[in-house]
Homo-oligomer: A and B are copies of this chain.
Amino acid sequence: MKTYNVGLIGAGFMAKAHSLAYAGMPMYFWPAPGLTYRKMVADVTEELAKDAAARLGYDEYTANWMDIINNPDIDIVDIVTPNDSHAEIAIAAAKAGKHIISEKPLARNAAEAKTMLDAVKEAGVKHMVAFNYRRTPAVALAKKYIEEGAIGKVLNFRGTYLQDWSADPNSPLSWRFKKDIAGSGALGDIGTHVVDFARYLVGEISDVMAHTQTWVKERPIQTGGVDKLGTVKSAEDVPKGQVDVDDELMTLLKFENGAVGSIEATRNAHGRNNFLTFEIHGEKGSLIFNYERRDELQVFFADDPADRKGFRTVYTGPAHPYGEGLWPIPALGIGYGDTKIIEVYDFVKAIADDTEVSPNFDDGYQICVISDAILESAEKGEWVKVNKLEVTIP
């Protein structure tokens, strides 16, 4: 069994999730498609990188991420930095012939994403963008049901991603509120996960109509250490800076296959923590998912007998996608880490088998195209046609 050496660039909370995934993947999926070895981690200072190596179990560390790119022993480059550095790192990694997994959104905008896509295509390396939520077994089960025709032709997709961590106007001006680093606000940060669901489950989006809102227009400038979300502790008396991205977005959607839909995302919805949901209506049934209760998928079959119809709450387990690698009975419990273990499994499998994995940089690029269209629509107040790359949705 081949072992792939991993170089991790970035050391925030996503670094933890990815590192756990490298450790856990063969424990879950065995025989594994390959093993991974946590070879080197990069962070912004030597001290932080050293700490990350000890914490996350990497052999080596560096304050210069190019050390990872230049290291011939590294097979996989894993990018978990803020959005503005994804492109530079990915392009360098591609040129160095590394397989690449990047956190989402792929880039700050479609043009930037295109440069990354071109680089990986040219280099012929494997590439993945970490929209991990579609690897929740219940979401993969929804995909399976749709492909089996269990709910018939999809008519309507309604997705939401609601959080509340930025509802407090005194939560500080982290990079997630700055366009030059993040590209966009709730849209790129969380809304893109819903766009990924929409494309994965329904198909390509052709038209978008959007409204965005920035409820909190200025926030305290961060002055101290960075916490796990990239923010500092709140302080009411520090100077404030402008927020130049969206807090919230609402969209209407048209799909190429005739379905319609809507997406809403916000980080300002008090009481919603990680309310990533979809409700899909088809000609013969419906599907409901809520990540806050992620073990469960609800499915309704219209052809059940009249007196026995109702949404079935299916707890995912051994009989469902990825079940062979998870726990021996349903509802032992899927956590955030498990979605990342599955992600690494599929990525390593694609490398080992020399196949494509999804979502890859094609998908990541296309989601940036859609995001750009959403922002354009919100600015103009008009429906905007999505300029579509020819991609095959897996």
Contact = CB atoms under 8 A, between A and B. Distances in A.
Contact of A338 (B165, B329, B337): B337
B271 A311 contact: yes
Contacts of A286: 269-272
A336 B150 CA distance: 30
Nearest to A24: B20
Interface in A29-77: 30, 32, 51, 54-57
A327 interface: yes
State how many copies of this chain the complex holds. Answer: 4
B315 A310 contact: yes
Given A30-B55, A313-B313, A284 B308 contact: no
Contacts of A150: 308
Nearest to A13: B328
B273 A330 contact: yes
A274 interface: yes
A306 B282 contact: no
A381 to B, nearest CB: 5
Contact of A273 (B252, B282, B331): B331
Interface in A299-316: 299-302, 304, 306-315
A78 to B, nearest CB: 14
Contacts of A213: 155, 260
A215 B311 CA distance: 22
Closest 9 CB pairs of A and B: A335-B335, A271-B300, A273-B331, A23-B23, A310-B312, A310-B314, A274-B331, A273-B330, A332-B336
27 contacts: A13-B328, A16-B27, A20-B23, A20-B24, A20-B27, A24-B24, A27-B57, A155-B215, A167-B302, A213-B260, A229-B329, A248-B260, A250-B262, A269-B281, A270-B285, A271-B285, A271-B286, A271-B300, A273-B315, A273-B329, A274-B330, A292-B315, A292-B331, A299-B310, A332-B336, A333-B334, A335-B337
